[in-house]
Structure 1
Amino acid sequence: MRATGKVIAMSAMALAVAGCSTLSSLNPFKKEDKTPPAKLVDIKSPSPVKVVWKHSVGKAGVNVFTPALADNSLFVADADGNVERLDAASGKQLWRAKAGTDLTAGVGSDGKVVVVGGTKGKVIAFDAATGKELWTAQATSEILSAPVIGGDAVIVRSVDNRITAYDEKTGEKRWFLQRPTPALTLRNAPGMVVAGTNVVVAQPAGRMLGLALSNGVPRFEVPVAEPRGATELERVSDIGGTPVVFEQDLCTVTYQGKVGCFDANTGAAKWTKDASSDVGVSVDPRFVFVADDKGSVIAFSRDGGASAWKSDALSYRRLSTPLSFGRTVAVGDFEGYVHFLSREDGTMLGRVSLDSSPIKSVPLLAGSNMIVQTQAGTVAAIAAE
């Protein structure tokens, strides 16, 4: 028994510094899966896909930076402390600012302010129009999740699971809520999303927490999946990526757990199905799309959760969060490719290469284009016909 405990403790130390994509390999009681990534095959009669523009920001390092879209502008950042505003249509740089410290998280913006997380929990806010630094604040620990803005408040979640609201204009602390953290959690960026007058915060152990933006009072807390398994590692079921609000649905997925949709106002469950992903979901009027931890792309019916289709063409290619994009669902991989699958049946339709580095950020829509940022710092707008 002592030897087993030692193995688990050593694994816990490894987990604290490892990326979430390698979590399953740390389980000492599970046979290591050495399945090679699927080889890419030629696509017969590929659909036209083109890169509209590219821009280079700095590298992301060990963290993940996702662009923010507001007022027809993109706000991007990198690990070296660079923050930029780009024209979403052309990629032209409108301003560039220095945070004065390395960055670990971002970007959050509502078109008025731009907020990023710096080393040792520093929070830095810039004026969205000019790039001028407005204020700084100090969180209680490292920040990995991009800040979100709603109700004139900047919401920050630090890795000690403290959720803090700062005044958007002054940086003054408005409220905070401290939540417990399990012994083992994914070292990822559990996301937050504004849903009306609430902010929904992904929590460890497969739970979603809805808080009032005005004062931080909990409105609901719901389990997406219950931890299962004989060991601490097997029981990790953290929410992957950022919950998504679509109309009245709040949809999400957990690692080693469930995918499901809930009422965005009350948290009441509408449906859940077995799934495992650490990168989140995409939602459109008909489907909820999941890229699971084995590289399968799965479409669930948004109305009831029935499985519509599943594609294994990209198995073990360490996929990004998918994106419903026109008649396709797009997903990035560990070699800098963006793949386009049929939204209706999962058939592979097209592919474009950005660079050779992984795509870990969440793709987003900007007008008729999708925006992707790679770990090497390529920010690209892609159009698909």
Structure 2
Amino acid sequence: MKKYFVIACAATLLGGCSVLDAINPFSSSAPKMAELPSIKPTADARVVWRERVGKGDLYVFSPAVVGNSVYAAGVGGTVARIDDGKLVWKIDAGMPLSGGVGADEQLVVVGSLKGDVLAFNSADGKLVWKARATAEVLAPPAIGDGLVVVRSGDNRLAAFDTTDGKRKWIYQRPIPALSVRSTGAPIIDGKLVMAGFPGGKLIAVSPNNGAAVWEGAVALPKGVTELDRVADITSPPVISGRYICAVAYQGRVACFELGSGQQVWARDMSSALGLAIDGPTLFVTDDKGAVHALDLASGASLWKQDKLMTRKVSAPTVLRGFVVVADVEGVVHFLNREDGSFATRVKTDGSPVRAPIRSLRSSVVVQTIDGGVFAIEAE
């Protein structure tokens, strides 16, 4: 994932931010991308269907899956619903978009660079309501318990009523002088809304009023310079049973008790990409492109697949015995869940995959920067 670092001045939080491409670790001075290793496929994979929405450009648009429906969007304003490979509707949101997609059975929600939050009817794509966040919307909104929760570029959480878009509450906290531009969505689970923040903090707040319930330290900033001290959570946390886990850039991967926020374990690992849980195993893609399998209860290493180093590998997802990741050339890799070995791979449109890969029953859904949406099946 291409990282954009943002200077966030505490005194001018809403206005004085700038992008520092010079310290982008995937610039032309970055290590040469590894060649794809030859493999002997042990599984068959195929593209089940494909569709096109607008390009992503510099933004990360994550497809949303609800039942058999896939919702996808692009920077030009296109929002689409695809059911079993058939285009149900495609609309123009009427403005450029920068974040999305969040969806449930009733609503499809996206956001804009100006902080607009747009909610459409999932059945026909008609606008239901429009609201405003406090800054640009870069992450997919979360929907649940009658709320749409939006994370804005100033690292605030805002909750809106799903019926009319009325704002219910805002959560904000102090942030460090330097932070990573985050596309990590909040998540809603039962009585908590959870999100990762700059400084390595995982926060749980009440969906009723936005008050903090608990705070966990995934990473502890360290070093002499502000750049050394960047330790931000830029991907969504994941939940399984009583555990909630998160990973931080220049920090650690850690798991906590969901109810109390008490840390169960932590180990050093840097990732701005994300993680996935399947049964007793936690899967993480680190910043160098290696995919790790860790024991969920203890954090012990089970295996590591490092043959995709420097290929800007996506966050993992798990499907039917495979750990699935995609890379900068749009290649989707299926790894054997038990040992991380390559099972098979599938090419898409040749452009990078930055968005999280979604599971769709027996398939995975991948969205590329060029706007391709692919459902891929392997067995």
2:340 partner SS: coil
Paired residue for 1:38?
34
Matched, 1:184 2:184: no
Aligned residue pairs total 367
Matched, 1:126 2:88: no
Q: 1:335 aligns with which of 314, 329, 333?
A: 329
1:227 partner SS: coil
Q: 1:360 aligns with which of 329, 351, 354?
A: 354
Matched residue type, 1:86: I
- Calculate the TM-score normalised by the size of structure 1: 0.91
Residues 114-136 of structure 1, C-alpha deviations (whole Å, 9 max, x = no match): 11001310111111111110111
Indicate if the aligned counterparts of 2:284 and 2:316 stay in contact, CA closer than 8 A.
Answer: yes
Q: CA deviation at 1:332?
A: 0.6
Q: 1:324 aligns with which of 318, 327, 339?
A: 318
Indicate if the aligned counterparts of 2:50 and 2:373 stay in contact, CA closer than 8 A.
Answer: yes
Stretches (4+) displaced over 3 A:
10-13, 22-26
Paired residue for 2:58?
62
Matched residue type, 1:337: V
Structure 1 Cα separation of the partners of residues 193 and 159 of structure 2: 10
Equivalent residues in 2 for 1:1-385, closer than 5 Å? 16-17=18-19, 23-24=24-25, 34-87=30-83, 90-385=84-379
Matched residue type, 1:55: E
Indicate if the aligned counterparts of 2:7 and 2:19 stay in contact, CA closer than 8 A.
Answer: no
Q: CA deviation at 1:19?
A: 7.2
Q: CA deviation at 1:364?
A: 1.1
Indicate if the aligned counterparts of 1:198 and 1:211 stay in contact, CA closer than 8 A.
Answer: yes
- Note the residue ranges of structure 1 that are not aligned, 5 or more in a row: 1-9, 27-31
Structure 2 Cα separation of the partners of residues 72 and 25 of structure 1: 36
Give % identity: 41
Indicate if the aligned counterparts of 1:104 and 1:117 stay in contact, CA closer than 8 A.
Answer: yes
Indicate if the aligned counterparts of 1:195 and 1:264 stay in contact, CA closer than 8 A.
Answer: no
CA 1:346–1:230 in 2, change beyond 3 Å: closer, same or farther? Answer: same
2:199 partner SS: helix
CA 1:180–1:33 in 2, change beyond 3 Å: closer, same or farther? Answer: same
Structure 2 Cα separation of the partners of residues 130 and 298 of structure 1: 41
- Calculate the TM-score normalised by the size of structure 2: 0.92
Please provide the CA RMSD for this pair.
2.0
Matched residue type, 1:345: D
Structure 2 Cα separation of the partners of residues 287 and 226 of structure 1: 24
- Note the residue ranges of structure 2 that are not aligned, 5 or more in a row: 9-16
Indicate if the aligned counterparts of 2:6 and 2:180 stay in contact, CA closer than 8 A.
Answer: no
Residues 289-317 of structure 1, C-alpha deviations (whole Å, 9 max, x = no match): 11111111111111211000111100100
Q: CA deviation at 1:12?
A: 5.0
Matched residue type, 1:38: A
